[in-house]
Amino acid sequence: MKASLPCKSKLHSRRKRCLLTAASLALLASNALAAAIPGDSAEGKRLYDASCTGCHDTSVFTRKTRSVHSLDALKQQLESCGHASGKDLSPAQKQDIVKYLNDQFYRFP
């Protein structure tokens, strides 16, 4: 029985390495997809903080009943918010905000 323990230990160790590798690859893929959306996330955060927090905080992005379920819906919601707030953002600024929100909260491909 003792002779089989090292085999079980090696199998367990191999399984752990496989799971860690798979988790690392999934994280890298998620980051690569988020990076594929054009824009400047840091500038998007600055713009969000200056333009959007007067009406709501970031809890709207993490609540269970959030209304945005795709990248297109996120862009449409930003357009609606822009009209409601009276902010006149350029297309590049809007894209920066979309990039920030997607990177931080949504992670849409």
What would the mean pLDDT of 21-30 be, rounded to a whole number? 52
Q: Which two tokens stand for residue 9?
A: 């230990």
Q: How confident is the model at residue 91 (pLDDT cuts 50, 70, 90)?
A: very high
Same domain, 30 and 55: no
pLDDT surpasses 50 at 28: no
What would the mean pLDDT of 65-87 be, rounded to a whole number? 89
Same domain, 31 and 43: no
> What proportion of the chain, given as a percentage, has pLDDT over 90?
50
Same domain, 28 and 48: no
Domain count, the chain: 2
pLDDT surpasses 80 at 65: yes
| Residue 2: DSSP 8-state | G
Measured CA to CA, the distance from residue 97 to residue 86 in angstroms comes to: 16
Q: How confident is the model at residue 81 (pLDDT cuts 50, 70, 90)?
A: confident
Measured CA to CA, the distance from residue 27 to residue 24 in angstroms comes to: 5
Measured CA to CA, the distance from residue 1 to residue 66 in angstroms comes to: 55
What would the mean pLDDT of 44-73 be, rounded to a whole number? 93
Q: Which domain holds residue 103?
A: 39-109
